[in-house]
Structure 1
């Protein structure tokens, strides 16, 4: 990605056909598109660099050879510094009819400001980007392996809310997510899907038709560039966008360690109204929902009316609470309490350089959140949240 500086004409050409608003500076938008290729979602160092210097100047710093405070971050960005990869993402975006949205665009959802340096550098949107700033939004999330009970409740909530103008947000997965999206569509309501891979890649493949329907009336969104594949870390990072974009988050059905609890943790940290649907105490599929009620202070949701009450009950973000979007959280999400992992594997899963990973593991070891066994492998020792 040498030669990152672009003239006005070159930037106009590079970003043509990607739906940029007239007020958006094309060179800045191109730089942000580069950042979606260069950095993993939620990279706080990249976010801090961009916040301090702007996307264009930050990109020049990222490609410099200086020995400074950014050196460690460059080690993880450098392998992706490829202009051909950026060109490929932009071309794939044009082919799929995507819009590239940046913070200076009036359609940018200001709710993402609450993520601070972990906010997305840009968003790839298939469909109507204006749907992202709908007045009221509710995220309905839950297990992929949902029970009939869970799918029925999710559908009832989504249909009732969507019919009254609330935009339904979810992650397009099988189970609860799919039930919520389909129900919103059935009432001609608005629904928005956040993906962990590029918006040009339908995932899961079995929801290709559903995602097309969502894009036709709402929108499909990702912070990863077109062509990017979903990964475990990107699913976890995607969850912070679902939480941030919603006024209220409802967990319908979730196992004890479900990824939906990650979304719930982000919602609690961001001060979003949080609720969960209770299930049978004997059902493992509802164990996570009960954790939301017990450990996260979630509202017990039994009807759409309960959710409407939640929409007026958001609280300020928690102060001095452990951030679910900082680098230590990325590290901990890459660890397992049961399976030991090497520094190299943890670095790959978290998107860090190995030297950064060793430093973060040392800190996590000191405060009791990670431990290294005699075989040299690392495990999480933090209790489940």
Structure 2
């Protein structure tokens, strides 16, 4: 690693995801100088508000020690994790579109080549944790068909829609999938998906902007959503309540100019109220098939997979 990469790792260890001051300084003066400014008495560049900058220094300085950064590096090595920075091979196309809110670094386990696939080859599928049978069935069908094209299926590793999407991609050849987590990769979350996420790491990749040892929090989940939106050419919400966190992912994608799709459900189902909200507010396009998804970001290409309806007449696939 270069000195710049080392500085980025240290900044990623002490900064919270989406730290605007850290990102602004990185863009203005680079990683090494940003790291130096944490403990320096030098006035911060004018691009940072002095009050915000003072709070930033106080917040990060208390966390920045050589020992803490060394522990993270050692822990990463023991776990077989790759640390990726924007100038390194494997940095996912699309994350830089987040500007000053882009991740400082990524920790990854698995096939790094999946991360470096083209932006257009990736589709993010998200939705409710407390998914209905209908939602899991549709997520399975869509993810399976996308994997057959092939497309890389991206999701957040959670229960419900996320898990159904990952499982379908893993069960398909030549399917590949990416799970982006809101905590360190030393302990996969949720605990009930330890086996599933281990399988994702074997044939795809599990990634996080947080170092090992970092616990998932509400803030980190919300910030993780911006990565789910930026890393793919399009985002599809399969099933979501009216205030679901999946709508936050859709909002990030919409703000980035990425197309958003939503699967409609029964009008009586609270589990689909969020999807209907996205459609009503014209943030999302109706998704009823894999063809609809591929048409979000590119012209349709007729194939057996794209012509298959998302909601098939055959029974829902067995959960793996």
Instruction: Tell me the TM-score normalised to structure 1 length.
Output: 0.73
Q: 1:160-195: per-residue Cα shift (whole Å, max 9, x none)?
A: 000111000000000000000000000030000000
Quote the residue 1:268 is aligned against. 254
State the SS of the aligned residue for 1:279.
Answer: coil
| Residue from 178, 202, 224 that aligns with 1:216 | 202
Matched, 1:72 2:70: no
Distance of 1:43 and 1:312 partners within structure 2: 33
- How does 1:334-373 map onto structure 2 within 5 Å? none
Matched, 1:131 2:107: no
Distance of 1:206 and 1:145 partners within structure 2: 14
Matched, 1:40 2:47: no
How far apart are 1:55 and its partner, in Å?
0.7
| Residue from 160, 169, 172 that aligns with 1:184 | 169
Conserved 8 A contact 1:265-1:296: no
State the SS of the aligned residue for 2:107.
Answer: strand
Matched, 1:304 2:304: no
Conserved 8 A contact 1:249-1:264: yes
- How does 1:213-292 map onto structure 2 within 5 Å? 213-292=199-278
Quote the residue 1:121 is aligned against. 104
How far apart are 1:134 and its partner, in Å?
1.6
How far apart are 1:71 and its partner, in Å?
2.1
Quote the residue 1:95 is aligned against. 78
Quote the residue 1:344 is aligned against. none
State the SS of the aligned residue for 1:253.
Answer: coil
Quote the residue 1:157 is aligned against. 142
Relative contact order: is structure 1 or structure 2 higher (C-alpha 8 Å, sep ≥ 6)?
2
Distance of 2:226 and 2:296 partners within structure 1: 19
State the SS of the aligned residue for 1:110.
Answer: coil
- How does 1:171-210 map onto structure 2 within 5 Å? 171-188=156-173, 189-210=175-196
Distance of 2:155 and 2:116 partners within structure 1: 15
Detail structure 1 runs of 4+ shifted over 4 Å in the superposition. Answer: none
Tell me: CA distance 1:296–1:226, structure 2 relative to 1, closer, same or farther (3 Å).
Answer: farther
Quote the residue 1:108 is aligned against. 91
| Cα-Cα RMSD | 1.2
Matched, 1:84 2:67: yes
Q: Which runs of 5+ in 2 are unaligned?
A: 45-49, 300-320
Distance of 1:51 and 1:297 partners within structure 2: 30
Distance of 1:33 and 1:222 partners within structure 2: 13
Q: Which runs of 5+ in 1 are unaligned?
A: 1-24, 314-385
State the SS of the aligned residue for 2:260.
Answer: strand
Distance of 1:132 and 1:65 partners within structure 2: 39
Conserved 8 A contact 2:154-2:178: yes
Distance of 1:197 and 1:237 partners within structure 2: 11
How far apart are 1:258 and its partner, in Å?
0.4
Distance of 1:231 and 1:106 partners within structure 2: 29
Conserved 8 A contact 2:89-2:116: no
How far apart are 1:110 and its partner, in Å?
2.7
Conserved 8 A contact 1:112-1:241: yes
The alignment of Structure 1 onto Structure 2 pairs a total of residues equal to 289
Instruction: Tell me the TM-score normalised to structure 2 length.
Output: 0.88
